[in-house]
Amino acid sequence: MNPQRSQVAIVGAGPAGLLLAHLLAARGVESVVLEARSEEYVAARVRAGVLEHSTVQLLTDAGLGNRLREQGDEHRGIHLQWPHERHHLDFVDLTGRSVWVYGQTEVQKDLVDAAAARGQDVRYEVSDVALHELTGDRPHVTFTAADGTAHRLDVDAVVGCDGSFGPSRAAVPEGVRRSWERTYPYSWLGILADVAPSTDELIYAWHPDGFAMHSMRSPTVSRLYLQVPNGTDVAQWSDDRIWDALAARLGHGQDGWELTPGPITGKSVLPMRSYVQTPMRHGRLFLAGDAAHTVPPTGAKGLNLAVADVALLAPALAALVRERDPALADAYSDAALRRVWRCTHFSWWMTTMLHTSGDPFDEQLQLAQLRWVATSEAGATGLAENYAGLPIGF
Ligand code: FAS
Ligand code: PHB
């Protein structure tokens, strides 16, 4: 079984897994990262786009902020839009905190480059990952390497950073774990387009036909989303149909504003779900990122929550593994879940405020809420505080 030993086994080389390995290495803790997919596959996944204030600070402090600050785009806030009205919420005026637009693919690239530079042990294209003796004296992971050889890795701790579909969630026994789940009655159709953004900052738009959002990746690449029914076949949405729907929903022609279409280079449909599993620690197993929670992307929280978990977990594991001090590790799950539930609520709140269901009463309530949030300092500050992100460990 090719027996090996390390201090921490990390399952998953997405942002949570690679950032954890980075922060552990900075604390003198050795880890091995096990990833089911290829490095190229993981790097190419187009996902999150907005980094919270605290995420940018943490990446900068960890030496991962250079390209972010060179190529990322700092935004003061967002636009809230509904038919005939658009209001800018300035997070910096309201809370003193900004956000940065810098795609998850870029964050992943920075993490991969840093891992290579420090000689991080990352095993790609592994299979049959299984977690063993998580409450025993010899916690270990078994797996099949890309070359087909069987391996056993003995460690002091195992961290599940394996997203929504990895083995870690189920490694917490049924009698121990508890989960909450909500599936929303709509999905997002997301596009990447080779066209300059038609807006300076993100537009979140309510419209009777459905939600739409204008984001971006660079001065020449736009990222846009529109609400579609669950089960939508992306092949049913031609480029023209997509741009027509986006123009209508985002307010093309309103007060002289125009949405400029362009070549679509990527299309995908993303179902929307809220999911939280507790506890985020069981014996020597710890969960971080999407392995423990999933949020609908309306609040731009998914990636940022993964960072916040890892920011708490790295010092906890360092104390546990190096000084045999379990205090922070014992407190990790409760501390992480405070932010998880705050972000789960905010993501649900943004999603239910902005997505239409066809119910006329709901639509009036949504418009009333949007008008209050856009014109009341208290309402706007509530959104700003949550969107720009509360301090990690709040
Ligand atoms: P990840 O899912 O990124 O990484 C988990 C890793 O574990 C993957 O690389 C996977 O291959 C690996 N893995 C799984 N099973 C394994 C096994 N058995 N063995 C070894 N490795 C295994 N968030 C936003 O804020 N905005 C968005 O627009 C947005 N869009 C998204 C679109 C999609 C399709 C998805 C799925 C998520 C989206 N998210 C978005 C959320 C996303 O950004 C996550 O929050 C973020 O990737 C979380 O990072 P990780 O926790 O590292 O999980
Ligand atoms: C993105 O740019 O992909 C993005 C931005 C904000 C969101 C979701 C996705 O809320």
Cα 290 to middle of ligand 1, angstroms: 6
> Is 93 domain-assigned?
no
Q: Is residue 234 part of a domain?
A: yes
Distance from C-alpha of 27 to C-alpha of 24, rounded to nearest angstrom: 5
Q: Is there a single domain that holds both residue 151 and residue 299?
A: yes
Check whether residue 327 and residue 363 sit in a common domain.
no
The rounded Å distance from CA 329 to ligand 2 centre is: 32
Q: How far is the CA of 39 from the centre of ligand 2 (A)?
A: 23
The closest residue, in CA terms, to atom 2 on ligand 1 is 163
Looking at residue 85, its pLDDT comes to: 97
Has residue 288 been placed in a domain? yes
Query: In which band, very low, low, confident or very high, does the pLDDT at 2 lie, cut at 50, 70 and 90?
Result: confident
Statement to judge: residues 56 and 199 lie in one domain:
no
> Do 44 and 191 belong to one domain?
no
Asked whether residue 195 carries a pLDDT value surpassing 90, the answer given is: yes
pLDDT of residue 112: 98
In whole angstroms, what is the distance from residue 341 CA to residue 357 CA?
A: 24
Q: Is residue 64 part of a domain?
A: yes
Let me know if residue 190 belongs to a domain.
Answer: yes
Of the pLDDT bands very low, low, confident and very high (cuts 50, 70, 90), residue 183 is: very high
| CATH at 189 | 3.30.9.10
Cα–Cα distance, 93 to 223 (Å, whole number): 26
Both 111 and 228 in one domain: the answer is no
Question: Ligand 2, closest atom to CA 350?
Answer: 10
How many Å lie between the centroid of ligand 1 and the Cα of residue 14? 6
Is 39 buried (19+), middle (13-18) or exposed (0-12) by CB count in 10 A? middle
Asked if 388 contacts 98 with a C-beta cutoff of 8 angstroms, the reply is yes
User: Is residue 177 within 8 Å of residue 257, measured between CB atoms?
Assistant: no
**Which of 46, 106, 225, 301 best tests ligand 2's pocket when mutated (most atoms within 8 Å of CB)?**
225
Residue type for position 308: A
Q: Is residue 330 part of a domain?
A: yes
**Ligand 2 contact via 298 beta carbon (within 6 Å):** yes
Q: Up-side HSE of residue 118: CA atoms within 13 Å toward CB?
A: 23
Q: What is the mean pLDDT of residues 33-52?
A: 96
Q: In the predicted model, is pLDDT for residue 393 greater than 80? A: no
Measured CA to CA in angstroms, residue 372 lies from 21, 92, 319, 365, 366 at distances of 43, 19, 46, 11, 10
Over residues 211-265, the pLDDT tens digits come to: 999 999 999 999 999 999 999 999 999 999 999 999 999 999 999 999 999 999 9
Phi first, then psi: give them for residue 217, nearest 5 degrees: -125, -25
345 and 231 housed in the same domain? no
Report whether residue 104 contacts ligand 2, using a CB cutoff of 6 Å: no
Span 355-382, average pLDDT: 97
- pLDDT tens digit string along 251-304? 999 999 999 999 999 999 999 999 999 999 999 999 999 999 999 999 999 999
Residues 153 and 284 reside in one and the same domain? yes
Same domain, 163 and 30: yes
Q: Is residue 80 part of a domain?
A: no
The mean predicted confidence, pLDDT, of the chain is 97
Catalytic sites, residue numbers: 75, 204, 297, 301, 387
Instruction: Please count the structural domains in the chain.
Output: 2
Q: What percent of the chain has pLDDT over 70?
A: 100
> Ligand 1 mean position to 47 CA, how many Å?
8
Per-residue pLDDT tens digits for 125-174:
999 999 999 999 999 999 999 999 999 999 999 999 999 999 999 999 99
| pLDDT of amino acid 315 | 98
Rounded CA separation 316/332 (Å): 7
Residues 23 and 169 in one domain: yes
> Can you tell me the distance from the alpha carbon of 51 to that of 60, in angstroms, rounded to the nearest whole number?
12
The model's pLDDT over 294-349, given as tens digits with 9 standing for 90+, comes to: 999 999 999 999 999 999 999 999 999 999 999 999 999 999 999 999 999 999 99
Do 342 and 368 share a domain, yes or no? no
84 lies in some domain: no
Tokens 């905010």 belong to which residue? Answer: 346
Is the pLDDT at 8 greater than 90? The verdict is yes
Atom of ligand 1 nearest to the CA of 306: 51
Domain span at 347: 2-74+99-180+273-352
Ligand nearest the Cα atom of residue 217: 2
> Is a pLDDT exceeding 90 seen at residue 392?
no
Does residue 41 register a pLDDT over 80? yes
Ligand that comes closest to the CA of residue 161: 1
Q: What is the CATH number of the domain that holds 103?
A: 3.50.50.60
User: Where does ligand 1 bind, in terms of residues with CB under 6 Å?
Assistant: 11-17, 34-37, 42, 47-49, 104, 126, 129, 161-163, 165-167, 270, 289-290, 297, 300-303, 306
Judge if 262 and 325 occupy the same domain.
Answer: no
223 lines ligand 2 (CB under 6 A): yes
Confidence class for position 1, pLDDT limits 50, 70, 90: confident
Residue 30 to residues 25, 102, 131, 322, 323, Cα–Cα distance (Å): 6, 29, 18, 10, 14
What pLDDT sits at residue 391? 85
Instruction: Assess whether 40 and 169 both reside in one domain.
Output: yes
